[in-house]
Amino acid sequence: MKILVTGGLGFIGSHACVELLDSGYEVVIVDNLYNSSIKVLDRIEMITGQRPLFYEIDILNKDALNNVFEENDIDGVIHFAGYKAVGESVSIPLVYYQNNITGSLNLYECMEKHGVNNLIFSSSATVYGNNFKAPFKEEYGYGTTTNPYGTSKMMNEMIIQDLAKANKDLSAVILRYFNPIGAHSSGLIGESPNGIPNNLVPYIAKVATGKLAYLNVFGNDYNTADGTGVRDYIHVVDLAKAHVSAIEYSFKHKGAEVINVGTGVGYSVLDVVSAYEKATGQKIPYVICERRPGDIDSCFADPSKCLELLGFKTEKNLEQMCKDSYNFMEKNPDGIK
């Protein structure tokens, strides 16, 4: 089975490629290296002993993308390619819609043209917005998205649902990720954001390795046990494995399914700080500051549909996530360049 992975050199995509290769799939990667390095391809080969076929292509270039389908007999697609910085999406919405919507439309058009009917899409818990109370269930549908990034995920979900209504052979699995963190246990692949990280765990990793002095905790007056925001952190390797389960599921079913991928357990910012300290032996100094606009109290999954349909359950705990995050950061202090 040959799987096309768009954005396959990125954080989640690279881990998914490793799990796909280890499960016996052939992998073809399309990535324009906007937010990744070609060296990740070597790292995937070092981990798995196999080198995926790689096309340095922008999915906005429909002809080039179409050519990948001409040259390869693709059985299924996992679509990670897109922009993901929430704040940036507010400043440059057109760029985000262009990449995340037009890019996706190009891909879906190529799939249709070549009769490829199996799709896994990277969505996000952000589509629940701030309208519901955790644990979030898929049946809640959509909340009010607060930024173009979130809206682009919601729109993609709707487009895929419409495509599945029109094409009864389409099998699409829309995965709503909660908060992926950690890295491969080898320390060869992981998350390496440019500049100062926006997300909690990459920021803590920089504090732990001495690149940043302290963590700013965005508010301690939330309606949670210790007043800091609660999230559902999931190890990126667990998340990557969920994609293998999803692609297997897609070959046995038709239609579009929305599925949460989280652990079902919420941890506060201060829980994560303690876990990181315990897992790594490094002190994480922090100061409490203002809330970050748009943040909600608690966001965690009801993961039961994922278990029921995909037979998938997460295995790695928060301590392992912190350990692997630190291991990657220590081995790659400047990211994978």
Rounded CA separation 219/230 (Å): 11
User: Cβ-closest residue to ligand UD1?
Assistant: 229
Nearest distance from C-beta of residue 13 to ligand NAD, angstroms: 5
Q: Which of 3, 18, 55, 84 binds ligand NAD (CB under 6 A)?
A: 84
Phi, then psi, of 46 in degrees rounded to 5: -65, -40
DSSP conformation letters of 119-171? EEEEEEGGGGTTSS-SSB-GGG------SHHHHHHHHHHHHHHHHHHH-TT-E
Residue 305, Ramachandran bin (φ over 0: left; ψ between -120 and 50: alpha; else beta): alpha
* Residue 292 binds which of ligand UD1, ligand NAD, none (CB < 5-8 A, kind-dependent): ligand UD1
CA 116 to CA 306: how far, in whole Å? 24
The 145-184 contact track toward ligand UD1, x by CB under 6 A, reads -----x----------------------------x-----
Angle at 102 between CA 97 and CA 104, to 5 degrees: 105
Decide if residue 300 touches ligand UD1 (CB under 6 A). no
266 binds ligand UD1 (CB under 6 A): no
Q: What angle do CA 287, 190, 22 make, to 5 degrees?
A: 145
User: In terms of Cα–Cα distance, which of 232, 234, 231 is closest to 222?
Assistant: 231
- Interaction between residue 159 and ligand NAD (CB under 6 A): no
What stretches of 146-288 show up as alpha helix (H) in DSSP?
A: 148-166, 200-208, 236-250, 269-280
Given 89, 104, 118, 124, the residue binding ligand NAD (CB under 6 A): 124
- The token duo for 228 is 């800091």
Give the interface size with ligand UD1 as a residue count (CB under 6 A).
Answer: 20
Token pair of 255, please?
Answer: 């239609």
Residues of this chain, 96-125, that bind ligand UD1 according to CB under 6 A: 124
Within 101-120, the residues that bind ligand NAD by CB under 6 A are 103
DSSP label of 301 = B
149 in active site: yes
Taking the complex as a whole, the smallest distance from the CB of residue 85 to ligand UD1 amounts, in Å, to 8
Among 3, 10, 68, 230, binds ligand NAD (CB under 6 A): 10
* Residue in this structure with the two tokens 């929430």, named with its chain if needed: 86
Task: Determine whether 242 is exposed, middle or buried from the number of CB atoms within 10 Å of its CB (0-12, 13-18, 19+).
Answer: buried
175 binds, among ligand NAD, ligand UD1, none (CB under 5 to 8 A by kind): none
Given the residues 149, 249, 276, 326, select the one marked as catalytic: 149
Residue 112 binds which of ligand NAD, ligand UD1, none (CB < 5-8 A, kind-dependent)? none
81 binds, among ligand NAD, ligand UD1, none (CB under 5 to 8 A by kind): ligand NAD
Residues of this chain that bind ligand UD1 (CB under 6 A) = 86, 124, 126, 150, 179, 198-200, 203, 215-218, 229, 231, 269, 292, 294-295, 299
Residues of this chain that bind ligand NAD (CB under 6 A) = 7, 9-13, 30-36, 58-60, 80-82, 84, 99, 103, 122, 124, 177, 180
Q: Which residues are catalytic?
A: 149
